[in-house]
Structure 1
């Protein structure tokens, strides 16, 4: 690794959660150093673009979306562990997306959204794009279902687009939705859950691909110690993290097969 190690826990980095995220990182950092991992940054890289963090050869630890983990980042990062959350839609290390519409939208099922506008956070998002595609594919009847797809850049912005009427539907990561409902409920006001997507493994914690096996095992041990530390119970409660799971890259295969199944139904791209 280079002389400038980097770490990020920005996938669920709501402003209201920043102090708790920083406290969690401090505990992880100190435990890693105590376990002999010397190159660990003092602070998280909160404002650096995630794509550059994920691809930095000095990456110590970051959380990424499962879709790029299984596609564009396959040769760049390696799996460390997967956080488990205690929020609606989560089951151990698995999670889903909540399909959101306005509270006053007449839709009762996905088919009722044909010809509408979909909001997604990005084309390479498992929870915002691929999960919605998986829900639409069985009823799409061809490659075109929505009149338009609006790319917002973030789940919170997709939720806002639905709330304000700029879009009719969005798939929101259930962890993001649960954290907003807990810490910023006004952002969920005026919307409702139409249905849920199938579950897949949640957002993995990854490190640079060149990180040695022994170091990865020390990282996992450090994470497990932090999850068991009673002095951090209030921090974990704020973030709704109840532990970590030791998954393998093979456990993330459902993310790839979800896209393949949509393509097999004649709906390879959200549209």
Structure 2
């Protein structure tokens, strides 16, 4: 009996155009992997549970994308790592990405070191781009001194940008791919935003699959993603994707290394972690 597998990409649905392009991407992927002799049935998923861990751990997932921090912290024994994307975006190279550290354009501070006693907003407590790299950047500056006035959780990169725009927060870190998509498809959201700097690099948001997926199918997923670059170059350009590259969990260890930088001085965002 043929199994029904699921595919879906929940991480960069930042505009209707983004969603339309990713829907088309999934349709093309399904056709290409079938052409490569994938025998089972496939369902495209466009609506995801509020708790994405439920989706990421679904044993019927053929491929999806997750944040690298949950991957290396809690999902690594429950999923398979297939690839990492390489984006044509400022701050990305060779399958790595950075966070864009942003503030309001009216803010007088011009370096991260200036933001002592200011208000920080993070998208999620388990986000690499919005929390972990920002924590590491600040930890490198503060030693054991107090740094921030408050830290609030926004729930998403879009909400963090809105909080900065409305002067409800002073500093945030935005995944540079998200920032590039917003700049391309929703530039009006960035009118009040100024880029302060770029963070250290991390491996790009990984492409993962269920632990139940056989190696032969795992390889078909990778080859379908690679083949689509030649078959649909304009779609890849629209999504700012240059390529998909092989990777392994050792690469994502760098995310834990960033966490350890903060742990060494017992620095954490553990104060006033309420919604903004």
Aligned residues: 269
Closer/same/farther in 2, CA of residues 2 and 118 from structure 1, 3 Å limit = farther
What's the offset of the Cα at 1:169? Answer: 0.5
Q: Is the 8 A contact 2:21 2:239 kept in 1?
A: yes
Match status 1:10 vs 2:10? yes
Match status 1:43 vs 2:44? yes
Q: Is the 8 A contact 1:33 1:40 kept in 2?
A: no
Aligned residue number for residue 274 of structure 2 = none
What's the offset of the Cα at 1:269? Answer: 3.9
Bigger Cα displacement from structure 2, 16-25 vs 35-44: 35-44
The alignment partner of 1:71 has SS state of helix
Aligned residue number for residue 266 of structure 1 = 266
TM-score, length-scaled by structure 1: 0.94
Aligned residue number for residue 118 of structure 1 = 120
Aligned residue number for residue 100 of structure 2 = 98
TM-score, length-scaled by structure 2: 0.92
Distance 1:254 1:85 in 2: 19
Distance 1:64 1:47 in 2: 12
- 1:158-169 alignment runs, 5 A limit: 158-169=160-171
The alignment partner of 2:43 has SS state of coil
- 1:194-209 alignment runs, 5 A limit: 194-209=196-211
What's the offset of the Cα at 1:39? Answer: 3.3
Distance 1:270 1:132 in 2: 14
What's the offset of the Cα at 1:3? Answer: 4.8
Aligned residue number for residue 67 of structure 1 = 69
Distance 2:147 2:39 in 1: 52
Q: Is the 8 A contact 2:105 2:193 kept in 1?
A: yes
Distance 1:85 1:101 in 2: 24
- 1:136-151 alignment runs, 5 A limit: 136-142=138-144, 144-151=146-153
Unaligned runs of 5+ in 1: none
Distance 1:36 1:71 in 2: 34
Structural RMSD (CA): 1.8
Aligned residue number for residue 242 of structure 1 = 242
Q: Is the 8 A contact 1:120 1:128 kept in 2?
A: yes
